[in-house]
Structure 1
Amino acid sequence: MNMGLLQAAFYKPPQAASEELALPTQVREQKHQINTRHCEKYHNLVAWNSGIASVIHPNYLQVLTLPMQLSMMVNKPFPFKPMGLVHLANEIKVNELPEQNAGLHLKTSFAGLQVHKRGYVFALKSEGFVDEALAIEATSFYLARVKHDLAHDEQSGHIASNPETIQLLPSLNNNDHQGPSLSFPLTFEQGIGRRYASASGDYNPIHLSRWSAKLLGFRRAIAHGMYSKAICISMLAKNDAFDCRTASPSIFADKAITTQFVQPIYLPSATEMEVSQAIPKSDEIQGNELPSLRFSLKSQQRAKTRLHILGEVSTI
């Protein structure tokens, strides 16, 4: 991954034609046998409940496919510079979590592109198949900060969408009633960026030290977005958020875990995670469907509340 980051630092995207901007259409595929020792290292770091550690953490797919994702962003005709991308959101859909020792068929592909007031947002999708059945998929949404004429690009069709586009930047429904909530503290230690980089392979300089983060415009190192999401997911499983007496490997089956990364978490930081049920206004739940779970991660800084993460776990 260090070589991949070096490639990312020196990658020069091609000049887009004036009439359109498009993402590459290739699909990367790889057969992968999960390394149980590496998986356990990751699980320990993100506090994955030992009662369900026989299956992978939902975020582990991102770790497995990260080299494939990066390789897609350091080769032409990818139209943006990989360094400096902003991770805006992530959505994971679980049919069934694979076993920790499973053999997977991994796929990655670009999944959509749209104009944003600060540049362009694109989606990168990863899929994990077990015995040719889709077990888990994850889509990350990135902002490429590029100057452009927003009004012109929106009206002129400057963006050519990929054939299999998906809804970009999924919004969370904030109109539901909030049920009973629980909260608990989460501490992000000074060196967690380096520790997570060692486990995940994501050595982006903004996470490693104050000095490397400053080179890219941050006053201090910031936590990985996928680490903060992973910790939140682990806490949901640990703290009976699903009203389960005993956590089971199927706890996230048929669930979608959607997260928006709102503001960075500077290291070190003390945060508070809050979890509540999102109950539809009609107060009607179809069949055996459970209310969605809403979660957030906030901190207090100079008498102000900063929202870092907004997320939801819902039934697919």
Structure 2
Amino acid sequence: MMNMGLLKAAMYSPQRLDSDVPVLPENIVRKEIQINTVHCERYNKAVNWKLGIASVIHPNYLQVLSLPMQLEMMINEPFPFKPMGLVHLANHIEVNYLPEQNAKLLLQTSFNGLTWHKSGWVFALLSEGFVNGQLAISATSYYLSRQRHAQTNKNTDLTSNVNIDETNSKTKIAQKNVSNMPIINEVLPPFDISCDMNFPLGIGRQYARVSGDFNPIHLTRWTAKLMGFKQAIAHGMYSKALCISEVLKKEMENRKGALAQTPMQFSTQFIQPIYLPTSCELNINRGGDQIDFSLTSKSRSKAREHLRTKVVIA
């Protein structure tokens, strides 16, 4: 979140009762940008994106570029939830090809689904990046707004009273149920490769300065406690970006070539928060064109899984 956006997010209070079924706005935000190569390089350094692929943006960089637009959608009526304290549950990235670091992009953001969750409501937010009119990369983030439910809305079918025009693009369908959120429950096969990853105490503030995401849950122990966490936690998209950088570096070594023009998908489930500081282990399994990876840590001899991702490379 940007500084002014953070203030607006802190002050924003939707005019909605807990008994009301929330309705997402149908607006679409668009913006043409020229990628700032200096900022892009700062981001690359933060997430270890290098070795022959640094001429193109990181798959996660779209989230950073579109973050101010996402925030704009969440600090104005009739957005039905408070932006502060949202929990990032999952993220899905589809790459047709990775744009160059100096590319001109048309960015587009829109809401892309809503569903009941035992701890509140989950909504999807879609970001898309177009180069010369062609979709290069898209990313969908799934956010949980934690709140108590009234009995009347627990089993609500969000699509029953919504007239969806099937001829519209998916970016225009704001009221459909979330049906494609990554849920990866199966037991993973034995891992082929493991490597260490460290998340130091101040990494939340460092990444916030690069990404613009100043959500209080990432900054300090005290600001995180205000949001219901025992201490500051790492950004989910930061931990995912670090893992992707490492996984694609190893994949290029296997393939002995770059992946910039190769279609790829990254489906991630954020399972448990990474409390700062934490030492983690990245475990990677490769089978054909699919790669599974998991980020885990140990606390008092008990393993904790923080995220799990399926990567499909065409």
Compute the TM-score of the two structures, normalised by the length of structure 1.
0.89
Tell me if structure 2 keeps the 8 A contact 1:90–1:141.
yes
Is the partner of 1:50 in helix, strand or coil? coil
Q: Provide the rounded CA distance (Å) in 1 between the counterparts of 2:144 and 2:213.
A: 18
Q: Provide the rounded CA distance (Å) in 2 between the counterparts of 1:303 and 1:199.
A: 34
Q: Provide the rounded CA distance (Å) in 1 between the counterparts of 2:248 and 2:105.
A: 24
Match of 1:208 in 2: 219
Match of 2:291 in 1: 293
Say if 1:3 and 1:69 are closer, same or farther in 2 by CA, change over 3 A.
same
Give the partner amino acid of 1:189.
P
Give the partner amino acid of 1:174.
E
What are the equivalent positions in structure 2 for 1:1-316 lying under 5 Å apart? 1-15=2-16, 20-149=21-150, 152-155=153-156, 157=158, 163=164, 164=173, 165=176, 167-172=179-184, 174=186, 178=189, 181-240=192-251, 243-250=254-261, 253-278=262-287, 290-315=288-313
Say if 1:152 and 1:108 are closer, same or farther in 2 by CA, change over 3 A.
closer
Shift of 1:213: 1.4
Shift of 1:171: 2.5
Shift of 1:221: 1.1
**Percent of paired sites with the same residue:** 52
Q: What do residues 246-289 of structure 1 show as CA deviations (whole Å, max 9, x unaligned)?
A: 44423xx21110111100101111000001035xxxxxxxxxxx
Give the partner amino acid of 1:303.
S
Matched residue count? 302
Q: Provide the rounded CA distance (Å) in 2 between the counterparts of 1:67 and 1:162.
A: 30
Q: Provide the rounded CA distance (Å) in 1 between the counterparts of 2:193 and 2:283.
A: 6
Runs of 5+ consecutive residues of structure 2 not aligned to the other structure: 165-172
Tell me if structure 1 keeps the 8 A contact 2:19–2:150.
no
Tell me if structure 2 keeps the 8 A contact 1:123–1:141.
yes
Match of 2:170 in 1: none
Shift of 1:128: 0.1
Say if 1:114 and 1:91 are closer, same or farther in 2 by CA, change over 3 A.
same
Q: What do residues 122-166 of structure 1 show as CA deviations (whole Å, max 9, x unaligned)?
A: 000000000000000000000111211367442465986684246
Q: Provide the rounded CA distance (Å) in 1 between the counterparts of 2:120 and 2:246.
A: 34
Say if 1:270 and 1:31 are closer, same or farther in 2 by CA, change over 3 A.
same
Match of 1:286 in 2: none
Tell me if structure 2 keeps the 8 A contact 1:19–1:158.
no
Shift of 1:216: 1.7
Tell me if structure 1 keeps the 8 A contact 2:294–2:305.
yes
